[in-house]
Structure formats: structure tokens, C-alpha cells
Structure 1
Amino acid sequence: MRSIPGNWRWRPNPLRRRSDLVEAWAGLAAVAITVVGAPAAGIAAGRAVDTTLRHAAATQRAQRHEVRAVVLPAARPRSGTIAPRSSDGQATSHTARISWKGADGKPHQALVTIVGRHTAGTTLPVWIDRDERPVDPPLDTATATSNAVAAGVGAAAALAALVMAARNLLGWRLLRRRLADWERAWSRIGQDWGRAGAGG
């Protein structure tokens, strides 16, 4: 049966150095933190982001409402009534003036950016804030969940990468120390190397 690579570092033997044991414990700690800590960090980050985004979404829904707005004729016939076409044939965004009736019963107008083909008189759903200004739609649950999942995965990956980087940095420093020790040892041995009767 073949032995596990690196297992020799755990067994007492005259060739084992103190740095070998340090490296073995560092590797074990890195694995433990990655296996246990990374998922825990991901779950904590995901929950925190999810709570924040859900609160933001609830606040936005409370402060915004949807109305039906009508696209008004453009000041110039060549702009605002039909979306220009991009080179691949897809409709692009353009600015148009819309009108809607506010909560106070009065008509309101604003310039907004819309996408697609919208001629004058077309009715569009538009989100309005408490000051009767067009705003973006409130954050939906699916978007909040996907962002929370992405944040959790990112946090877990970041912690795992940080742990592995620290483990590699420690290994690099231990290797440099070993090479320095070897250099000093060879310097001492080199003084008598090849001399007759050396070490006799």
C-alpha cells in the first residue's frame, strides 16, 4: 500500500525538520478552514446581502408605484416616435416624452429613456416615486436572491483563495529558510571538502 504524500512529516524521524512539522500543520489548517470556513463565510455573506436587498426592495415598493403613461408626439417627427435600429437589427433605446395622471389627479410629463418601437399614443407601464418622478422599477425578489447567492459564492471563493495564498506564502518562506540552511551547511562542509584526512 502506497503511503499518503506528505505523511512522513507527521511521523517522528531524524530527517524531519521543525519547518516540516510547521508546514504539515499549516496545510491541515488550510484544508480545515477551506472546507469549513469558506462555506460558513459564504452562507453568512449571502444571508447578509439577502437581508439588505430584501429590505431595500420592500422600501422601494413602499415608495414607488406603477402608472400607465402615454408616449407623446415628438417635437420633431424624426426623433422620439420610433426607436432607431442598431446595425444588427435590434431596437435601441431612445428618449421620449411621456404623460401620466398623478395620484393628485393632475397630469404630469417627463422625458424618459425607452427601448423598442413606441409610436405616439402608445401606453407604457412606468414606475413613479412619491414626488411624481419616473424611477426604475423596485428590486424584485429573484434579482435579490441571485445577487445574494453571487455574494455568498464570491465570499466563499475569496476566503478559500486567501487561505491558499497564505499557505503558499508560508511554504515559500519555509523553502527559502531551508535553502539558506542548506547554504550555510554546505559552506561549513566545503571548508574541509576533498582534504585528505578530513573528518578522520
Structure 2
Amino acid sequence: MRAVLGLRRWRHNPLRRRTDLVEAWVAFGALVLMLLAAPSIGWMSGAATDEAFGRTIRAQHEDRHRTHAQVVRLTTAPARLMYDPETSAERGSGRPVIAKWTAPDGSRHTETVRSAPATVRPGETFPVWTDRGGQLTQRPTDPTTARTHAVLAGLGVAALGALLVEAARRLVVRQLNRRRYARLDLAWAQAGPDWGRTGAGS
């Protein structure tokens, strides 16, 4: 808004300098870029991130399989919090147990599972995620979490674009001010030390 008012103020002002008009146009251009270009770039970045996450999730669902493991025996290790990096959230307390399960390819596995629910007992089952060979893996990324990351990425890119535009505007204004001060110094130098004295031609 200040950019638009600046253009109207300087357009027919007899005291207008060329640098004043340039500064007003630069401010107007920066405003347009912040309102149109930055959100557009942010939206495209968010859409690209969401598409990339979608491909990753589809690949994870193709490679990772949910099955049920049966507790063989408990271990003496204490219970701990289960942290899932795919969802960036703690999912309650868990404990290591010796468990067995059947892989998608039919092979049988008996290993230590370090994130079993804390309340399981020998003979009970709980869900685990494995790859096609039966090796334990993290569960696939939650689509809601992926969409949240995509939105945050888009907002971050839009904010960064707006900051870059503002930085460029400030740099241009700084150069314009230097030119104004240089011209003012030159005018004072041309006026000479007798400026304002009677009979000095002022």
C-alpha cells in the first residue's frame, strides 16, 4: 500500500527526484512479488514435496508388510519410550522381548524386538513391520505426517522468497540513498564556502 501511495505522491510532485520515482517503483514491484510470486513458489514447492512424499509412501507400502509377532519370552531390560522417526512422535512405552513371526516370503524368524508393548506377556501377539525378507523395519510414513511436512516446506519456501525480495528491495534503496548523498555533497561543493553571503550570487 505504501508503494502505491508513493507512486501517486511522486508522480506529479515538482520536488520529485528520479531516485524517488525509482524507489517507489521498486517498492511496488517488491509488493507484487511478495503477494503473487512468493505464494506461487511456495505452493509449487509444497506440491512437489507432497508428490515426493507420496512416491516414498507408496514404495514403503510395497516393501514393508505388517504382521503379528508372538512373544516367546520377556527380557530383563527395562521398558522404554518407543520413538518412531517416520512420524516424529513418541508412541508410549515399550520393552524388548524375544518374539517370533512369519515373513511374507514364508520364512520364520525369532529375534529380539526392542519396541514391543510394555504390557505383553509370553504367548501374546503384537503387530510389527517387516520387509519382504522378514527383517524388522519401521512402519510406513503416515500420510497425514507427510502432508504436514509438505505444507511446512511450502510455507518455508514462500517465507524465504518474501525475505529475499525484501532484502533485494533494501539493497536497492541503500544504493539509491548513497547516490542521493553523493549528489547532495556535490551540490554543496559547487555552492562553495560563500553560499548565503550577501553579494555572493546566492
CA pair 172-71 structure 1, distance change in 2 beyond 3 A: farther
Structure 1: stretches of 5+ with no match in the other structure:
none
Moved more, 30-39 or 58-67: 30-39
| Larger strand share, 1 or 2 | 2
Quote the residue 1:187 is aligned against.
Answer: 189
Matched, 1:99 2:127: no
Quote the residue 2:125 is aligned against.
Answer: 123
CA-CA distance at 1:171 after TM superposition: 1.3
Aligned to 2:199, what secondary structure does the other structure show? Answer: coil
Question: What's the Cα RMSD here?
Answer: 2.6
Quote the residue 2:140 is aligned against.
Answer: 138
CA-CA distance at 1:52 after TM superposition: 1.0
**Contact 2:94/2:118, CA 8 A, preserved across alignment:** no
Aligned pairs for 1:55-70 within 5 A? 55-70=55-70
Deviations 1:120-172 (A, max 9, x none): 42422111012211111112321222222112212221111111111122112
Please give the TM-score of this superposition, normalised by the length of structure 1: 0.80
Deviations 1:51-109 (A, max 9, x none): 1111111111011100111344345x3x15xx159xxxx96555444321223433213
CA pair 104-8 structure 1, distance change in 2 beyond 3 A: closer
**Contact 1:91/1:115, CA 8 A, preserved across alignment:** no
Quote the residue 2:84 is aligned against.
Answer: none
CA pair 97-21 structure 1, distance change in 2 beyond 3 A: farther
The amino acid of 1:62's aligned partner reads E
Aligned to 1:193, what secondary structure does the other structure show? Answer: coil
Matched residue count: 188
Quote the residue 1:177 is aligned against.
Answer: 179
CA-CA distance at 1:180 after TM superposition: 2.3
Please give the TM-score of this superposition, normalised by the length of structure 2: 0.79
Structure 2: stretches of 5+ with no match in the other structure:
82-90
Matched, 1:110 2:111: yes
Alpha-carbon distance in 1 for matches of 2:181, 2:112: 70
**Contact 1:10/1:24, CA 8 A, preserved across alignment:** no
Quote the residue 2:85 is aligned against.
Answer: none
CA pair 124-15 structure 1, distance change in 2 beyond 3 A: same
Alpha-carbon distance in 1 for matches of 2:144, 2:62: 18
CA pair 31-10 structure 1, distance change in 2 beyond 3 A: same
Quote the residue 2:26 is aligned against.
Answer: 26
